[in-house]
A = this chain, B = another copy of it.
Amino acid sequence: MVSAAAERFPDGESDAADPEDIADRRLRRGARSRKAVTRHAVDIASAEGLYGLSFGRLADDLGISKAGIQTLFRTKEQLQLATVDEALTVFVDAVIRPAAPEPAGAARLRAVVERWLAYASEPLLPGGCFWSANLAEFDSRPGAVRDALAQQHRNWLAVLAAELRTAVASGEIAPLDPDLAAFQLAAVLTATNIALRLDDPDAVGRARRALDTLLAPPR
């Protein structure tokens, strides 16, 4: 999913001056506009929900024409899906990629959780965690947007479970069910996002203590 999102929204400039590349440059320009719009849409949706997105609101905020945004996305659902995809790019860059150099297992899991706490605390997005807000909003609304959010959430659980599985297999931590523990950890982080939004001063410390209960050393 990560590389698919990166390919769909290329950031790099083309060096080509060749006339054959004009169409390509136009496509890239369109992709950059799309990225600027979706990045702002991620900010809105993290605070107010995907449901509140509209072409008119985005056009007003970004000072561009509503017709131009409609040309880029066509339907509100397409806009929501592009926003969900862009949110993943933001998340991977902030949380997953920086933790990748750590050794697999408990160390990488701790790095992921620390990055996640920074992502939700700073917050990188105005409403904190994008999925905390939007999964709760869309879980009762069947459709492509709900499916995309749910798939991303399953991928997140799989990332956490993989590190837990490694930590158990290598004897770093006491035996546990990696899928169950991943679910418990993701649940704690979602609840921590709400605690942060409610200005609970113990939110980060409590999340770390909850992680410690999962990463107990073997006896």
Contacts and interface: CB of A to CB of B under 8 A. Distances in A.
Interface string A99-140: 000000000000000000000000000111000110111011
Interface of A: 47-49, 126-128, 132-133, 135-137, 139-140, 146, 150, 176-177, 180, 183-184, 186-188, 190-194, 197-198, 206, 209-210, 213
A136 B139 contact: no
A105 to B, nearest CB: 20
A180 to B, nearest CB: 6
Contacts of A146: 198
B190 A190 contact: yes
B190 A191 contact: yes
Contacts of A213: 176, 180, 184
Nearest to A176: B213
